[in-house]
């Protein structure tokens, strides 16, 4: 990895919660609020945006650990701001702390760790697992 983003580097995204982001199970809406599944996807997206400019050719990153405390609902149609801040950078990892805010209130917080992998070795591992017998 090229020198990673400095500790404290932040990236933010503000958006309106849509019905596609609502709490869903098997395609049906459970609650018309910002769902935890959508929150996870948004956290991964922001973390990736912080890391991607620092990847070297042949390197890739995978999610290694995610911790989330989803504390309050945000209704569909309301605005959310997610901020990811670099908490630590290692030779093979990047950890971001993430806050989600709605109306000045922190509605979710968490941490997301990404680990570097060599793309060729990762692809080989994927193929080995594709060929693994199923129980």
Helix (H) / strand (E) element for 130: namely helix 119-130
What CATH code is carried by the domain that includes residue 97?
Answer: 3.10.129.10
Tell me which residues of the chain have a pLDDT lower than 70: none
Does 70 fall in a domain? yes
The total of structural domains in the chain comes to 1
pLDDT at position 3: 82
What residue numbers bound the domain in which 119 lies?
Answer: 10-130
* Entry pTM: 0.90
Q: What is the pLDDT of residue 39?
A: 98
Predicted pLDDT of residue 30: 95
Rounded to the nearest 10 degrees, how much is the dihedral formed by the CA atoms of 76, 80, 84, 85?
-150
Residue 134: per-residue pLDDT: 76
Does residue 1 belong to any structural domain of this protein?
A: no
State the pLDDT at residue 118: 93
Report the Cα–Cα distance between both ends of the chain, in Å, rounded.
Answer: 38
pLDDT value, residue 130 = 87
């Amino acid at each position: 990895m090229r020198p990673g983003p400095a500790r404290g580097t932040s990236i933010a995204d503000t958006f309106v919660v849509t019905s596609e982001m609502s709490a869903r199970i098997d395609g049906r809406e459970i609650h018309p609020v910002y769902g935890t599944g959508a929150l996870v996807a948004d956290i991964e997206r922001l973390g990736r945006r912080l890391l991607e400019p620092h990847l070297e050719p042949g390197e890739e990153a995978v999610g290694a650990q995610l911790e989330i405390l989803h504390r309050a609902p945000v209704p569909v149609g309301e605005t959310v701001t997610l901020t990811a801040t670099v908490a630590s950078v290692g030779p093979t990892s990047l950890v971001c702390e993430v806050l989600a805010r709605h109306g000045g209130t922190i509605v979710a917080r968490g941490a997301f760790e990404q680990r570097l992998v060599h793309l060729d070795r990762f692809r080989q591992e994927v193929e080995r697992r594709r060929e693994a017998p199923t129980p």
